[in-house]
């Protein structure tokens, strides 16, 4: 049973425009969420995170929004650049209970930014 879902396997955006990557989760115990970026032949690298006490976190061109009632989060990249082309993974975890420290990942969304 997949607890973190990224329903769009791919997204194509023109350079300079906004990229919006979406992620849904099912476990209401999750209270910490992360986005990772992965280039081919490399491991995932951490991009940005958000805890459940916030609904927005911004870092430069990257902003993550959290809607707890909808169990939904999104990553906005603006403006998008060709170097942003990569696979983006959403991950979630809980800071309590038996799953302490364990991260659950989505399948990833391939973002392509074209000139």
> Binding residues for other proteins, per CB under 8 A?
2, 4, 31-32, 34, 36, 41-46, 49, 89, 93-95, 100-108
Q: Which is nearer to other proteins, 46 or 114 (CB)?
A: 46
Nearest CB to other proteins, comparing residues 4 and 113: 4
H or E element at residue 88: strand 86-93
Least distance between other proteins and beta carbon 43 (Å): 3
- Kindly list the distances between the CA atom of residue 37 and the CA atoms of 33, 45, 75, 86, in Å, as whole numbers in the listed order: 14, 5, 11, 6
The CA distance from 88 to 6, in Å, is 9
Minimum distance, C-beta of residue 17 to other proteins, in the bound complex (Å) = 27
């Amino acid at each position: 049973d997949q607890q973190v879902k990224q329903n769009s396997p791919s997204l194509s955006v023109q350079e300079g425009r906004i990229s919006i990557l979406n992620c849904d989760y099912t476990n209401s115990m999750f209270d910490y969420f992360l986005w990772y970026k992965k280039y081919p032949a490399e491991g995932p690298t951490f991009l940005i995170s958000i805890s459940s006490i916030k609904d927005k976190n911004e870092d430069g061109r990257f902003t993550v929004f959290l809607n707890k009632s909808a169990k939904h989060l999104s990553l906005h990249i603006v403006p998008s650049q060709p170097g942003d082309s990569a696979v983006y993974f959403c991950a979630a975890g809980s800071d309590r209970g038996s799953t302490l420290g364990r991260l659950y990942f989505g399948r990833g969304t391939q973002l392509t930014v074209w000139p």
